[in-house]
Amino acid sequence: MSDFDYDLFVVGGGSGGVRAARIAAGHGAKVAIAEEYRLGGTCVIRGCVPKKLLVYASRFRDDFEDAAGFGWSVSTPSFDWPTLIANKDAEITRLEGLYRSGLERAGVTILQARAELADAHTLTVQPGNRRITAKIILVATGGRPTLLEVPGAGHAITSNEAFHMESLPKSILIAGGGYIAVEFASIFNGLGVDTTLIYRAPKILRGFDEELRDHLSEELQKRGIDVLCDAEIASIDKGWLHYNVALKDGRTIETAKAMFATGRQPNTKGIGLEAAGVKLGDNGEILVDGQSRSSVESIYAVGDVTDRVNLTPVAIREGHAFADTVFGNKPVTVDHELVPTAVFSTPEIGTVGLHDLGGVRAQDMAADHAAALAVHQQLHEHALVASRQRVLERLEARLVDVELGIALACLSLVQADGADLGRREYRRRHQLVVHRDRLVAEHRVGEGMTLADGDRVRFTRSVTSPTA
Ligand SMILES: Cc1cc2nc3c(=O)[nH]c(=O)nc-3n(C[C@H](O)[C@H](O)[C@H](O)COP(=O)(O)OP(=O)(O)OC[C@H]3O[C@@H](n4cnc5c(N)ncnc54)[C@H](O)[C@@H]3O)c2cc1C
């Protein structure tokens, strides 16, 4: 019999923790999971899922307008924020229930509790100050929003509060240029809120392909979002009716609501990691090896708390791989390269693979038998209405195995039409096969496109199943 209360104790019931607990229990481990707030974690409770419901809501305005071009007459539509929020909350409660029943069916013990580490095998659980021991501890505590350190910062909300506002403000100023900032700007703009996006760097979406950044920035402004780059907040004052947001360049902007979407940081403070001897990185993240093991042999970490690729499917993959490795006798190393990313702005963008980061990677690619292709086109669905958006598709391929002459197809695909793809989401996959330096694969419908270097590429395009 084991000397420990559990084989595995998981701290945090979000995407990574829940998957790890369920799979480990399936491998026969005795598992407990502690969640201090709500099962499902950031993604389900105050991240991807509620955000996408708001994104869908924000796109109906376009649909009502477009419908006229197709012969429909629609009486003046009106929108009610409290109805949307109540329905969103009901859906989240339903999903939370599914997470709970999945864990229960797998035989996992669920603790509605905050857990802190006391040493390499011991945890303290609150309320009740219970001490629990486990052979293996998995830390999956996720991350939290980073706040700007400026006077009056307390007046601003973050994405956490944005999902629970009692009413829709007339105007909003969102600080940040990452995907969460851009997505919320699109949501509020679509719902008729006068929206300003303010970002300290010259261009939004740092780290994304240059062409995508320019394209999206242009499209957001065309939709009426005021995108202010190279601008920083100095302070926020509460006036009678508005907040006055002072910028460092001397300008002041009046807004009904201010929101920070200025990044996230790993949730590692105050959970006893120091006591257990776990090493942290510069951003406070838990440092782990390829199999998610920390500097302490019995302690592992997955998901946002490790600050690798902070996305739900990655946290789930890491949690699954951890459980298979440690309890399923199937060592798995998660590959963090080529993770597809979608930004649910309007228009939305999706990307995977090599990016043109200001020309630097583009040059590497050229040396690496790479090919890139960009196509701008208009969607058919907009043919009968004054078109607002164009689709930008950008394909890039890199030869990864010269010996075999086979290339891994890397694709950056911009699906820029929110009105259509918002509800009929699908991923298109283009496959490029390279033989020696030449791209020779076939496009399913036989299209050919000329590459910059003169080579012709034909690629396979297939529609995969709808994304969740
Ligand atoms: C607004 C927003 C939108 C997003 N949109 C997307 C998207 O579209 N696509 C995508 O892939 N990703 C998206 N993300 C990111 C995604 O939500 C995270 O990458 C994912 O949730 C990480 O999972 P995790 O298991 O690491 O942590 P989390 O899901 O954050 O779960 C951690 C859990 O641990 C709990 N916890 C923390 N400390 C303790 C403790 N001491 N004891 C007990 N419990 C504790 C927390 O309450 C939380 O429930 C979004 C995030 C935000 C904020």
Q: Is residue 21 located within the same domain as residue 138?
A: yes
Q: How far is the CA of 300 from the centre of ligand 1 (A)?
A: 17
Mean pLDDT, rounded, for 160-179: 97
Task: Check pLDDT > 50 for residue 462.
Answer: no
Q: Is residue 160 located within the same domain as residue 129?
A: no
Per DSSP, 136 falls in state E
Test site for ligand 1: of 141, 183, 184, most ligand atoms within 8 A of the Cβ: 141
Q: Using one digit for the tens of pLDDT, what is the confidence trace for 206-231?
A: 988 777 788 899 999 999 999 999 99
Instruction: Note whether residue 113 is domain-resident.
Output: yes
Give the integer Cα–Cα distance in Å for 170 and 257.
Answer: 8
Which protein residue has the closest C-alpha to ligand 1 atom 48? 41
In one-letter notation, the amino acid at residue 218 is E
Q: And the tokens for 329?
A: 């006798």
- pLDDT level of residue 56 (50, 70, 90 thresholds): very high
CA proximity to 120, closest of 101, 139, 106, 105: 139
Which protein residue has the closest C-alpha to ligand 1 atom 52? 47
Q: Which of 327, 345, 379 is the last residue of a domain?
A: 327
Q: Is residue 121 located within the same domain as residue 179?
A: no
Instruction: Note whether residue 209 is domain-resident.
Output: yes
Q: Is residue 288 located within the same domain as residue 393?
A: no
Q: Is residue 367 located within the same domain as residue 311?
A: no
Q: Is residue 132 located within the same domain as residue 167?
A: no
Which protein residue has the closest C-alpha to ligand 1 atom 17? 43
CA proximity to 245, closest of 185, 156, 334, 164: 156
Give the integer Cα–Cα distance in Å for 320 and 330.
Answer: 11
CATH number at residue 66: 3.50.50.60
User: What number does the ligand 1 atom closest to the CA of 143 have?
Assistant: 30
DSSP structure string for 312-370:
HHHHHHHHHHHHHHHHSS-------SS--EEE-SSS-EEE-S---STTHHHHHHHHTT-
Q: Are 259 and 184 in contact (CB under 8 A)?
A: yes
Give the integer Cα–Cα distance in Å for 377 and 384.
Answer: 15
DSSP structure string for 393-455:
EEEEEEEEETTTTEEEEEEEE----HHHHTTS---EEEE--EETTEE----TT---EE-TTS-
Give the integer Cα–Cα distance in Å for 57 and 187.
Answer: 8
Q: How far is the CA of 30 from the centre of ligand 1 (A)?
A: 24
Please tell me the total number of residues recorded for the chain in this structure.
468
Q: Is residue 166 located within the same domain as residue 248?
A: yes
pLDDT of the residue at 398: 39
Q: How far is the CA of 43 from the centre of ligand 1 (A)?
A: 5
Q: How far is the CA of 134 from the centre of ligand 1 (A)?
A: 23
User: What number does the ligand 1 atom closest to the CA of 304 have?
Assistant: 26
Q: How far is the CA of 316 from the centre of ligand 1 (A)?
A: 11
Q: How far is the CA of 143 from the centre of ligand 1 (A)?
A: 6
Q: Using one digit for the tens of pLDDT, what is the confidence trace for 174-186?
A: 999 999 999 999 9
Task: Check pLDDT > 60 for residue 404.
Answer: no
Strands (E), 36-170: 109-112, 114-119, 122-126, 130-139, 143-145
Q: Is residue 137 located within the same domain as residue 16?
A: yes
Q: What share of the chain is helix, strand, coil (3-state, %, to 5)?
A: 30, 30, 45
Mean pLDDT, rounded, for 313-334: 96
Q: Which of 287, 311, 327 is the last residue of a domain?
A: 327
The neighbour count for residue 349, using CB atoms within 10 Å, is 26
Q: Which residue range forms the structural domain that includes residue 400?
A: 353-465
**Which of left, alpha, beta for 250 (phi over 0: left; psi -120 to 50: alpha)?**
left
The three-point CA angle 304-346-251 to 5° equals 85
Task: Check pLDDT > 70 for residue 282.
Answer: yes
Q: Which of 206, 239, 262 is the last residue of a domain?
A: 262
Domain count across the chain: 3
CA proximity to 417, closest of 345, 357, 326, 366: 345
Provide the mean pLDDT of the chain: 80
pLDDT of the residue at 92: 96
In the structure, which protein residues have their CB atom closer than 6 angstroms to any atom of ligand 1? 11-17, 34-37, 41-43, 47-48, 51, 114-116, 140-142, 159, 180, 267, 271, 303-305, 310-313, 315
Which protein residue has the closest C-alpha to ligand 1 atom 7? 48
Q: How far is the CA of 431 from the centre of ligand 1 (A)?
A: 32
Q: How far is the CA of 337 from the centre of ligand 1 (A)?
A: 21
Test site for ligand 1: of 42, 110, 320, most ligand atoms within 8 A of the Cβ: 42
Give the integer Cα–Cα distance in Å for 339 and 350.
Answer: 11
pLDDT top residue among 403 and 91: 91
Mean pLDDT, rounded, for 317-345: 91
